[in-house]
Amino acid sequence: MDRHPKGCEMHSDAPDQLDASGKAASSNIEVSRRVALTAGSAILAAAALPTPSSAQTPAAARAVFGQSFALSTNVNGVDVEAEIDTRTSLLDLLRERLALTGAKKGCDHGQCGACAVHVDGRRVASCLTLAAKVHDRKVLTIEGVSDGDRLHPMQQAFVEHDALQCGYCTPGQIMSAIACVREGNATSKERIREYMSGNICRCGAYKGIVAAIEDAAAKMGRS
């Protein structure tokens, strides 16, 4: 009596019988290889599928971008409160929301220094700083440096030493220069160049910039 129902193909671990040319074994090997490759591809494809939100970890589920944030900060001595997107950069807040366009968007990658401002007295690249990071802190931009119509010593020195040409980078240069002096790094031309290296002047007014910083440093008393 046949122990196997008709229509059911039974597979054994015994090697296939070879005919004179060996075609039977070769055919089965090729079929097995195709099955293995197909199954492997299906597994990889399934692994690459996005994870359903219901299966995400709590931490991943909470990482939602684009939320609003109630910002409270001080800019140039003025208290500012604004509802902002958590992804907003400090530079965009200053330029687009507060109309303080002195800080320039040059590279937008923190490499040119045109967007330099001070946060709690320290210079930062505002294009790389999230606006939410200045919550309850003090921000100083080029607009807040002068005392009314009286220029800051660094601004005056830039004018006197012709330390600018097109002027696009000048606000960032001045903000970094003030910080350079206050940090005690304006003690020599070499040191000034070192600590101003993050500010690029495409017009090449570096000689005048260094001279202006040396002059202003003496007047600011921190050279």
Q: Residue 4: what residue type?
A: H
| Domain final residue, candidates 116, 144, 172 | 144
pLDDT for 36 equals 56
Let me know how long the chain is.
Answer: 223
Calculate the alpha carbon distances from 45 to 28, 39, 58, 130 in Å: 26, 10, 25, 37
DSSP state of 103: S
Q: Does 23 reside within a domain?
A: no
Determine how β-strand 122-125 pairs with β-strand 116-119.
antiparallel
**pLDDT given at position 91:** 99
- Residue 38: the pLDDT is 59
Hey, what are 114's tokens? 């045109």
Q: How far is CA 93 from CA 20, 81, 85, 123, 213, in A?
A: 82, 11, 10, 17, 29
Clarify whether residues 197 and 137 are in a common domain. no
Instruction: Specify the pLDDT at position 221.
Output: 77
User: Is 96 a domain residue?
Assistant: yes
Residue 51 token pair: 């994870």
Boundaries of domain holding 85: 67-144
- CATH number (domain holding residue 125): 3.10.20.30
What is the chain's pLDDT, residue by residue, as a tens digit (223 residues)? 444 444 444 444 444 444 444 454 555 555 566 655 555 555 555 555 555 544 444 543 443 566 999 999 999 999 999 999 999 999 999 999 999 999 999 999 999 999 999 999 999 999 999 999 999 999 999 999 999 999 999 999 999 999 999 999 999 999 999 999 999 999 999 999 999 999 999 999 999 999 999 999 999 975 4
